[in-house]
Structure 1
């Protein structure tokens, strides 16, 4: 799915005519028709009824996302001046970041700002805040939102919570569990210098009323460490709903926690960083975030 195809599709809908859309885009009518047909083949559904010209249900859904993606591209071009050829943007990603929004934002930015080199930096649980403060990254997809005056956060997804546990656990087969059932489980440990807000996220600190966490002997730095410990039934972990779409591990079960407060993933950046390249990336990310389901953080746009 290409932006030029989306431009043709949107133009046809807005102009109400393939011919007028072609004139608006300075293309031939056959080229516009070919773009729309290519989109229909990719999504596997008819997007437009031709006589009379009107959107199908699939077309209406794609139209919303298409306009958002095109607006994201326009925003990036308006916000940022042309950067130097050697400008670099370092993007930190903790785990799977903000679900499908992470690759979608990066891909849209790369298309809009081809002169900027994007470097991806995987982040551990310890680097929830430190990577930004120590200037090792410029922006970072993390969860939850850092609590630090030096950092600003743009909300990407708002998601329900899940328990990460062994398939041998008594809770593994449940359709859902309650907070009361999970608070006293033995959780994977995290490094002592991990930020307090990340510990509260992992262990439901705000809901414990000061009760201590039972911790396993496994100290974990990344989601893969959590999955391994859970598979061995040595400790459990917690995450957001989209986590289960990105990770599959033998012997691990993901169980919804029905009464846990929802949690957010964010794009974090330094409050003092006023560079146009960072502003452009944030603009694209927040525009794309408007297409995310509030239920499970699922991105409705085309593939990155």
Structure 2
């Protein structure tokens, strides 16, 4: 009878700028010509590419010899099968953690920052020289975890979308979004540039921009089981109102029913290609998700 499988480290990356250039232009020479015409140097792009792969190599060498490990690109996340005992290691910018978060279900996440001078490191804050110790500690549940709240959009047909930062509901173009919005206390019809529902993590990004421009700030903790909603540029008319412009959602979800004949969309964390159609009559309930992003503290 075989023993239990050892833990698996799953490294998550995205293509470097250099790899994207070569994919687009086929050869280094053509990529160099493209950049030089724009007064840029391919050597600078190559240097960042080499630096990233040096960090990735060190990170992968940190995995205990008896563990399993694999690497998955961001573009393949929707086809990858994560296991409950995986330890997830995004290596890249902060957005990579948001990209992988919606595919996880409680696995610990160790974000590695390959370029602290380029990336803020809000979510990728583990130095590569601490990774070996933190991998083992994570597998043994001997680390401090931030249980970051996520946003959930549940549609009337059972489809569900989750996001670490925010969910957008609106029109896919620059046309006005028309919908009915309902909280536990009130309901009204809207014509607006759409709305977003954000977590405490997302409240520092797109939501913050909307809150500052509208002076409708909300206090959301990163681990608080609550989310906030903000309506973008609501337009008052004989048929539409603007009273429900922002609010905090704790126990009851925000319910939105589409009044758009076509072009209505819902998408998460700015990934528009993963949009769900939200046309006339469809209803979505938006709230804090049951699952969280389990982010390992890097100390």
Give TM-score scaled by structure 2 length: 0.32
Q: Which has the higher contact order (CA 8 A, sep 6+)?
A: 1
Task: Say which structure is richer in strand.
Answer: 2
